[in-house]
Structure 1
Amino acid sequence: MTTSTPAGQSTVSLRDPAQLIAATPCLLGFRPTDSLVVIAHRPPTGSRIGVVLRGDLPPPRYRKQLARSLVAPLLADQALGVTQLVVCAQRKAQAQAGGKPIHSGLVKAVSEVLANAGIPTKHALWVPEIRAGARYRCYQDPTCTGRLPDPATTVAATVMASTGQVTFGSRAEMGRLLDPVDAATLTRRGELLDEWSDSLVTEDSGRVLERDRREVVAALAQSRTGKLRLTDEQAVRLAWALSDRRIRDDCLGLALPAGERRAHDAERLWLELVRGIPAPERAEAACLLGFSAYLRGEGAFAGMALDNALDAYPAHVLAAMLAESIRLGVPPDRLTRLVPTGGPPDWLTGTTPGGSG
Structure 2
Amino acid sequence: MNGVHTTNTPGGLVEALPALFGFVPTDSVAVLTTMANGRRIGFRLRIDRREPHQRAEMADTIAGHVSRHVGSGGAVIVIVLADDLDQGMSDLAAVLDALSEPVIVAGVAHLGVFTEWGTGNVWPYEDPAHSTATVAAVAAGQNVEASRAALAASLTPTYANAYVPEGEADTALCLAVLAGTHDLTDEARVAFTRAVRNIGVRDYLWGEATAETAGRHAATWTAVALLTHRRDVAGLYAMAAMATYLSGDGARGRDLADIALKHDPEQSLAKIALTAIDAGMSPARWFEMVQ
Inter-partner Cα distance in structure 2 for 1:278 and 1:238: 12
2:78 pairs with 1:84: yes
- % same residue: 23
1:248 to 184, 194, 202: 202
CA 1:10/1:140 → structure 2, altered by over 3 Å: closer, same or farther?
A: farther
Q: Encode CA deviations 1:99-157: one digit per residue, 9 max, x unaligned.
A: xx32444433433443x3xx3112211124xxxx6233223123x22543344675523
2:57 pairs with 1:64: no
Please tell me the residue identity of whatever aligns with 2:170. Answer: D
**TM-score, with normalisation over the residues of structure 2?**
0.84
Please tell me the residue identity of whatever aligns with 1:69. Answer: H
CA contact (8 A) 1:40 1:80 kept: yes
**TM-score, with normalisation over the residues of structure 1?**
0.70
CA contact (8 A) 2:218 2:247 kept: no
Inter-partner Cα distance in structure 2 for 1:107 and 1:22: 19
1:281 to 232, 250, 254: 232
CA contact (8 A) 1:36 1:54 kept: yes
Question: Partner of 1:280: helix, strand, or coil?
Answer: helix
**2:5 is matched with which residue?**
11
Q: Which has the larger radius of gyration?
A: 1
Inter-partner Cα distance in structure 2 for 1:218 and 1:309: 25
**1:294 is matched with which residue?**
245
2:46 pairs with 1:54: yes
- The Cα of 1:89 is off from its aligned counterpart by 1.7
Question: Partner of 1:265: helix, strand, or coil?
Answer: helix
1:73 to 54, 69, 73: 69
- The Cα of 1:329 is off from its aligned counterpart by 3.6
Which ranges of structure 1 fall in alignment gaps of 5 or more residues? Answer: 96-100, 201-207, 343-357
1:137 to 95, 104, 115: 115
**2:105 is matched with which residue?**
123
- The Cα of 1:263 is off from its aligned counterpart by 1.7
CA 1:57/1:329 → structure 2, altered by over 3 Å: closer, same or farther?
A: farther
Question: Partner of 2:208: helix, strand, or coil?
Answer: helix
2:92 pairs with 1:107: yes
CA 1:152/1:89 → structure 2, altered by over 3 Å: closer, same or farther?
A: closer
Inter-partner Cα distance in structure 2 for 1:82 and 1:10: 20
CA contact (8 A) 1:11 1:155 kept: no
Question: Partner of 1:18: helix, strand, or coil?
Answer: helix
Question: Partner of 2:83: helix, strand, or coil?
Answer: coil
Please tell me the residue identity of whatever aligns with 1:71. Answer: S
- The Cα of 1:30 is off from its aligned counterpart by 1.3
1:307 to 235, 258, 272: 258
- The Cα of 1:242 is off from its aligned counterpart by 1.9
Inter-partner Cα distance in structure 2 for 1:333 and 1:148: 29
- The Cα of 1:297 is off from its aligned counterpart by 2.7
- The Cα of 1:333 is off from its aligned counterpart by 5.0
CA contact (8 A) 1:273 1:282 kept: no
CA 1:330/1:37 → structure 2, altered by over 3 Å: closer, same or farther?
A: same
Q: Encode CA deviations 1:197-254: one digit per residue, 9 max, x unaligned.
A: 2xx5xxxxxxx3xx52123124335xx26x84432x4423321122110111011223
**2:142 is matched with which residue?**
165
2:185 to 227, 230, 236: 230
Inter-partner Cα distance in structure 1 for 2:119 and 2:153: 39
Please tell me the residue identity of whatever aligns with 2:198. Answer: D
What is the aligned length?
286
- The Cα of 1:266 is off from its aligned counterpart by 1.5
**2:13 is matched with which residue?**
20
Inter-partner Cα distance in structure 1 for 2:208 and 2:25: 30
CA contact (8 A) 1:60 1:106 kept: yes
Question: Partner of 2:87: helix, strand, or coil?
Answer: coil
**Correspondences of 1:278-357 after superposition (within 5 Å):** 278-332=229-283, 335-336=286-287, 340=290, 342=291
Inter-partner Cα distance in structure 2 for 1:33 and 1:326: 22
- The Cα of 1:276 is off from its aligned counterpart by 1.1
Aligned-residue Cα RMSD (Å) equals 2.9
Inter-partner Cα distance in structure 2 for 1:161 and 1:67: 31
Inter-partner Cα distance in structure 2 for 1:164 and 1:319: 22
CA contact (8 A) 1:136 1:145 kept: yes
Question: Partner of 2:229: helix, strand, or coil?
Answer: coil
